[in-house]
Amino acid sequence: MDRSKLYRRFRTLLIANRGEIACRVIRTARAMGLRTVAVYSEADRDTMHVALADEAMLLGPARARDSYLNVERLIEAARKTGAEAVHPGYGFLSENAEFARACFDAGLVFVGPTAGMMTAMGSKSGSKALMEKAGVPLVPGYHGEAQDEATLSKAAEGIGFPILVKASAGGGGRGMRIVRSAAELEPAIVSAKREAKAAFGDDRMLIEKYVDNPRHIEVQVIGDSHGNLLSLFERECTLQRRHQKVIEEAPSPTLNAAQRETVCAAARKAAGAVNYVGAGTIEFVSDGKDVFFIEMNTRLQVEHPVTELITGIDLVEWQLRVAFGEALPLRQDEIRLNGHAVEARVYAENPTKNFMPSVGKISTWRLPAETGGLRVDAGYREGDAVSPYYDAMLAKMIAWAPTRDVAIERLNRGLEETDVRGIVTNIPFLSALMTHPKVRANAIDTGFIERELAVLTQAAPAPGELELCAAVAAVINEEQQAAHAKANSPWQTFGWQPVGRRQRSFAFRVGHGPEQKVMLNYGSGPSTLVIGERELAFTVAAKDGGFDLTLDGVKSSVAAVIDGHELYLRTRNGRFDLHWVDPFGGETEEQTGEDKIAAPLPGTVVAVLAEEGAKLDRGAPILTLEVMKMEQTLRAPFAGVLKSIKCKVGDIVQEGVELAVVEPSGE
């Protein structure tokens, strides 16, 4: 193959992706003087990546298969905008050999490995066979071509349970299931195949021995077209949920210097087996003693910023320079490891409701300044809409420091100073994870989050004295701001009164809980707040995003957001959502029973798992929805009889639509 067609200088780059990664690539490309082209679906017309690019082109309808996965439309977009190269980002078509080949055939530079390298290493089955031949240690497993149920069942029994069933073309935990007994195998394969087909267009499976209490370690590699292949140290990605990485750090706190060199050498050997060109990641699993190869990701990874922060290398810049046909600017012995970096993935999801994705418009988006070792890679802004069609990741927060402990502290401080409203996020969960003593002590494995889920998703504490006083202050601030917009309003100065000293009563509650009352005394003399028998002197000083509240001489910083009668507060004690009870009454609130089996979000019915008339135990599966590229199984809320199913496989259902009716058994 003519290398001048594969790697050459270009001026215009099309980013075949969306969200955070598209924004990330655009920033580096523009810093290098390149012209950038974004692509978007109908759901993404007004998104951040479209605004950042020099040009943008509509691909098609919202569904990924009709837009971001449409190879012909992507090639057409490059042709119409004059793009000479394509960066695939991660996810979508980033590891699709046919897309890489289509780019080459269209005369475009593909910023990544060749289709041949991708085929050899992108397939989990194919790469395992290649690694076995190259002498790289493997987890025992089956990675053959035969995909019939009998073959897979026989392979599983031969390996011995527990096993891991995983999509050969997969990534991000999709199409992956842990199977601990023969009885669980068939439904796990069916579900994993269906999810893999939907996510990757390929339902081939491999089976490998599941390593109990495993740790996930991966090595960043990059090669150029001149025969240079480097490793850029390793990352630890052990903190996972449902095989989806949550926290990543570099370097691994588990490895010593000798182990680090061993695993990095194994990674270079693995990538060297196909003379790899471009950025990629060699992934390993460790049982605490040995390290086994599990797969290669032939693309940039979500967690690449932690490697950038400990090496000082911009991996996207290096990707583009390799695509230009340049040699890598450093030798292996010139790459230095400096300090420690930790990354957290911020998602639009509700950890207290089984991490159900959250959709809607972002009404408030406040992130800390990127100073003091803190970095934020975001794909959303205030006013943007989070749709149900794509991955729910909003941003990545990354912290660097000379030591791991300080990096964790910086990351947690950044999370604590982040306020996102309009949708539900996993920020409190991430903060709980970062402050967990076992995480600080590195006493973890890939099952840690599932075991500690109850602790990590504990309900927010009840609002105390500080929060109730802050709620009153928030309401007062809101009223003062509204008054300032009206000329000659007596409320422009807090405490205005026609005569004497006055009182004002406030009532707040959390959810449908009991009302908590606060009395405000104001007028002549200092203003005070009364809670029960306690009377506290207070002052309020407004500032951007909130105010400073001084109670009995102690000043506290409070972040506040008010939407009608809904209040969000962030104090030193955590985050709080309160409802300001309408002082004039007349509130009506719809009570939705927990037994309602309805679509939690817009999605597609992919499986009906029970028949009408069936007797169900509490928790029995009824049907499965595909929501934001992940499967969500809806279950019986109590023991009873399945009276009716109100949908069928293939139906696209909207949020809140009732899908099934269960009658309680009366037991």
Q: Looking at the annotation, which residues are catalytic?
A: 299
Dist. CA 13–CA 324, nearest whole Å:
12
Give bridge partners of residue 508 from the DSSP assignment.
516, 580
Dist. CA 403–CA 339, nearest whole Å:
6
Tokens of 125: 């089955």
Dist. CA 139–CA 161, nearest whole Å:
13
Dist. CA 93–CA 108, nearest whole Å:
15
At 53, give phi and psi (nearest 5°). -75, 160
Q: Check whether the bond before 351 is cis (ω within 30° of 0).
A: no
380 contacts 23 by C-beta, under 8 angstroms: no
DSSP notation for 174-241: TTEEEE-SHHHHHHHHHHHHHHHHHHHS---EEEEE--SS-EEEEEEEEE-TTS-EEEEEEEEEEEEE
Q: What is the 3-state secondary structure (H, E, C) of 563-632?
A: ECCEEEEEECCEEEEEEECCCCCCCCCCCCCCCCEECCCCEEEEEECCCCCCEECCCCEEEEEEECCEEE
Cα dihedral sign for 450, 451, 456, 458?
positive
Dist. CA 361–CA 47, nearest whole Å:
12
Q: How many Å separate Cα 598 from the centre of its chain?
A: 24
At 507, give phi and psi (nearest 5°). -135, 135
Tokens of 527: 């203003």
Q: Who's near 479: CB < 8 A, 6+ residues apart?
A: 491
